[in-house]
Amino acid sequence: DIQMTQSPSSLSASVGGRVSVTCRASQDISNSLAWYQQTPGKAPKLLVYAASRLESGVPSRFSGSGSGTDFTLTINSLQPEDFASYYCQQYYSTPETFGQGTKLEIK
Amino acid sequence: QGRLVQSGAEVKKPGASVKVSCKASGYTFTRHYMHWIRQAPGQGLEWMGIINLSGGATSYAQKFQDRLSMTRDTSASTVYMELSSLKSEDTAVYYCARKNNAFDIWGQGTKVTVSS
């Protein structure tokens, strides 16, 4: 199985600020990497697929980068609705594994 | 655009089985694979398995191999996930999710509580 190591597990930031979350795969997954946002009590929402492609309707302040084993999700100009949990996921091979998650809190 | 609507919350005793449904609408049902993912309280996301909605072939995560079954009813655009021999550790929210590159559409989740 491919292991996905996500960091940090939590971070705090201010409205208007910028944050980055990283995800490392235990083997080369090319660009088969997605990022999801989840708020309490809700299903995850797709933000980015193919490592850097923004899902339709997702604000441009979200961006993804990387390929191979190292990936980054960056959020610019943080808005109040961005404070949530974020997960990376590889879909290069089954089982399709997720990172442990990153909880973004307001400073 | 598409929508997935899941069945309601369930409470089961250890050793019992649970069957959760996921009804799709707004897109061609058989065009995409469906996956099931679960989330234990306060925990992360765990992939359980996949079903090919066209042919019905399935693939399950190793830990669920002997007690998980996924089926579909193409006439009703509905997918089913049945988990047997339930344990307290199976208490979680279960999600169906459409695969289109990544998981672009998710059901609202079904809370399954396993308690004696």
Place of tokens 């344990």: B87
Tokens of B23: 């009804």
DSSP lists the bridge partners of residue A74 as A20, A63
3-class DSSP state of B97: strand
- Across chain B, mean pLDDT equals 96
State mean pLDDT over B65-94: 97
| Confidence category of residue A3, pLDDT binned at 50, 70, 90 | very high
Overall average pLDDT of the A10-17 stretch: 96
Q: What is the mean pLDDT of residues B70-87?
A: 97
Q: Is the pLDDT of residue A8 over 90?
A: yes
B62/A44 Cβ within 8 A: no
Query: Which tens digits make up the pLDDT trace of B2-31?
Result: 999 999 999 999 999 999 999 999 999 999
Residue B101, pLDDT > 90, answer no
Q: Would you state the torsion angle of the CA atoms of residues B44, B46, B52, B58, taken in this order, to the nearest 10 degrees?
A: -170
In this predicted structure, the answer to whether residue B74 has a pLDDT above a threshold of 90 is: yes
Contact between residue B50 and residue B99 where contact means Cβ atoms under 8 Å apart: yes
CA distances, A84 to each of A30, B62, B95 (Å): 27, 30, 19
Q: Which residues of chain A neighbour B50 with C-beta distances below 8 Å? A: 94, 96
Q: Where are the beta strands (DSSP E) in chain B?
A: 3-6, 10-12, 18-25, 33-39, 46-51, 58-60, 68-73, 78-83, 92-100, 102-106, 110-114
Distances (CA, A) of B1 to A4, A92, B4, B92: 30, 25, 11, 28
Judge whether A43 is closer than 8 Å to chain B, CB to CB.
Answer: yes
Taking only the tens place, the pLDDT of each residue in A47-66 is 999 999 999 999 999 999 99
Q: Do B47 and A96 touch (CB under 8 A)?
A: yes
Block residue for tokens 């021999």 = B85
pLDDT band at B32 (very low <50, low <70, confident <90, very high): very high
Q: B111 and chain A: CB distance < 8 Å anywhere?
A: no
pLDDT at B1: 83
Rounded mean pLDDT of B55-78? 96
For residue A102, pLDDT beyond 90:
yes
Under 8 Å CB-to-CB from A41, ≥6 apart: which residues?
none
